[in-house]
Amino acid sequence: MNVYKMSLKFIIALCALSLLAGCGDKQQAIVHQAVAIESGDECHLCGMLIKQFAGPKGEIFNKRTTSAQKFCSTRDLFAYYLQPENTRQVQQIFVHNMAKTPWDKPGDDHFTDAKTAWYVKDHSQQGAMGATLAAFADQQDAKAFAQEFGGSVISFEQIDLALLANL
């Protein structure tokens, strides 16, 4: 009977440890939420004041810090993100969903996951750095934007440094 009680205690202890270990994994996997872009925030890449410009902006959360790195345009965001040393560090990346917010003053309550977003390149609208990628949570919205303002719809996976250089 003593062996049975000891075995039972051992099994309970193992279960408790595995639950605690599972909690630790969940804490590491916490997904960030996009944060507001404040009036004094500067672009992480170029240093320009972000709020002064039209068009979609973006944010990156990386593994080394808990605060967002903010960008004045999707062009700057991807120019930073696509550098190999940066790509490996990214936990979460957000862009404005331009179907839900005006081009001239994008609202910070309309961010979407950049990795699942759809983009329009070569359109007629201008962003902070001139030509930029218009971002949309839904492919149909991206297609409607391209129909109105020109350009073509692409996915996150199609964005690379060569594409950015040709915007």
Measured from the Cβ of residue 27, the count of other Cβ atoms closer than 10 Å reads 8
Tell me what the pLDDT averaged over the chain comes to: 86
Per-residue pLDDT at 30 exceeds 80: no
pTM equals 0.80
Lowest mean pLDDT among 5-9, 45-49, 82-86, 104-108: 5-9
Mean pLDDT of 93-110: 95
Summarised one tens digit per residue, pLDDT across range 55-93 is: 999 999 998 888 999 999 999 999 999 999 998 899 999
C-alpha span between 91 and 141 (Å, rounded): 26
What string of H, E and C letters represents the secondary structure of the chain?
Answer: CHHHHHHHHHHHHHHHHHHHHHHHHHHHCCCCCCCCCCCCCECCCCCCEHHHCCCCCEEEEECCCCCCEEECCHHHHHHHHCCHHHHCCEEEEEEECCCCCCCCCCCCCCEEECCCCEEEECCCCCECCECCCEEECCHHHHHHHHHHHCCEEEEHHHCCHHHHHCC
